[in-house]
């Protein structure tokens, strides 16, 4: 799935990384627990989270994740946006809740990665 | 390539900066041409360990030695130490306070994750004096 498809499916606002909309994303992970993300997620994934702090971006950076979607209309502050820009990570915000967001992407064919 | 040594002081009072050292090491390893999987293993383990320094130990030091064969990482702190290492290695066991959980960590996955992503892991710890963690990822 392309990043722009995620944007369209979730009716999301692109906060930064507009130039990376053509990237491919193969799996998705919805979590507010970054340690779980570090334990299980495969690369080239999109991370959906309701957590707003710099460690969400840093976790994505370590995992080579392409894109972060903040759910429930959450919006990161300027320092988080700058961090994501410096790492070429796309940030989006959707008004949908976590469960609904994951379901909408799943319905369109995006799957979670295998565990371990 | 001869060995490259890197040193980082990790502040213990600023959670927002946790991960800066790991991000810097990742960039260095990529610039040196290390393979994707090796870089990924090393930086995920280092990031978890760096987070631990901030959460549990009030900061510390990170020393990295990069050779063509191996990435060696030593994390030293003067925090409270780990009373029961075997217990701390169990998935789900955590002593992190609620405010850390609210930041996305403290699920008891840190040490198990570090072990999972490294080829060698050794912990020297003494209660009341601190902890030194030795990690190695081989360039296979």
User: b or e along A51-80 (b: 16 or more beta carbons within 10 Å of the residue's beta carbon)?
Assistant: bebbbbbbbbbbbbbbbbbbbeeeebeeeb
Q: CATH number of the domain at A51, please.
A: 3.40.1390.20
Please, which pLDDT band fits residue B61 given cuts at 50, 70 and 90?
Answer: very high
Give the pLDDT of residue A114.
66
Residue A102 lies in a domain: yes
Residues B94-119: pLDDT tens digits? 888 887 888 888 878 889 999 999 99
Residue B44 distance to chain A (closest CA, Å): 6
Residue A11 lies in a domain: yes
Task: In whole angstroms, give the CA distance from residue A12 to residue B89.
Answer: 39
Which of B15, B18, B19, B28 to substitute to test the interface with A, most A CBs within 10 Å? B19
Q: Note whether A34 contacts B15, CB cutoff 8 Å.
A: no
Residue A33: which domain range? 3-110
Q: Measured between CB atoms, does B48 come within 8 Å of chain A?
A: yes
Q: Note whether B23 contacts A34, CB cutoff 8 Å.
A: no
Full-model pTM: 0.91
Residue A116 lies in a domain: no
Domains of chain B, each with CATH number or no CATH = 4-138 (3.30.565.10)
Task: Give me the number of domains chain A comprises.
Answer: 1
Residue A35 distance to chain B (closest CA, Å): 6
Residue A25 lies in a domain: yes
Task: In whole angstroms, give the CA distance from residue B137 to residue A75.
Answer: 37
- Would you say the C-alpha torsion B47, B72, B41, B125 has a positive or negative sign? negative
Give the pLDDT of residue B23.
95
Residue A115 lies in a domain: no
Quick check: A46 and A94 in contact, CB under 8 A?
Answer: no
Residues B4-60: pLDDT tens digits? 999 999 998 788 889 999 999 999 999 999 999 999 999 999 999 999 999 889 999
């Amino acid at each position: 799935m392309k990043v722009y498809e995620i944007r369209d499916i979730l009716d999301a606002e692109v906060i930064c990384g507009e130039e990376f909309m053509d990237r491919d994303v193969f799996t998705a992970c919805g979590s507010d627990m970054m340690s779980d993300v570090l334990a299980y997620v495969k690369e080239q994934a999109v991370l959906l989270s309701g957590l707003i702090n710099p460690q969400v971006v840093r976790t994505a950076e370590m995992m080579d994740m392409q894109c972060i979607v903040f759910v429930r209309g959450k919006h990161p502050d300027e320092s988080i946006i700058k961090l994501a820009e410096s790492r070429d990570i796309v940030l989006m915000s959707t008004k949908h809740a976590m469960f609904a967001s994951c379901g909408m992407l799943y319905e369109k064919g995006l799957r979670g990665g295998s565990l371990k | 390539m001869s060995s490259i040594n890197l040193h980082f002081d990790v502040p213990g009072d600023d959670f927002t900066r946790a991960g800066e050292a790991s991000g810097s090491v990742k960039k260095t390893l990529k610039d040196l041409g290390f393979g994707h999987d090796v870089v990924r293993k090393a930086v995920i383990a280092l990031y978890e360990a760096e987070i631990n320094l901030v959460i549990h130990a009030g900061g510390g030091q990170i020393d990295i030695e990069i050779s063509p064969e191996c990435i060696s990482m030593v994390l030293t702190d003067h925090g409270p130490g780990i009373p029961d290492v075997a217990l701390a290695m169990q998935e789900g066991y955590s002593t992190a306070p609620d405010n850390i959980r609210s930041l996305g960590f403290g699920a008891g996955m840190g040490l198990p994750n570090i072990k999972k992503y490294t080829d060698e892991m050794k912990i020297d710890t003494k209660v009341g004096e601190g902890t030194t963690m030795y990690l190695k990822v081989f360039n296979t």
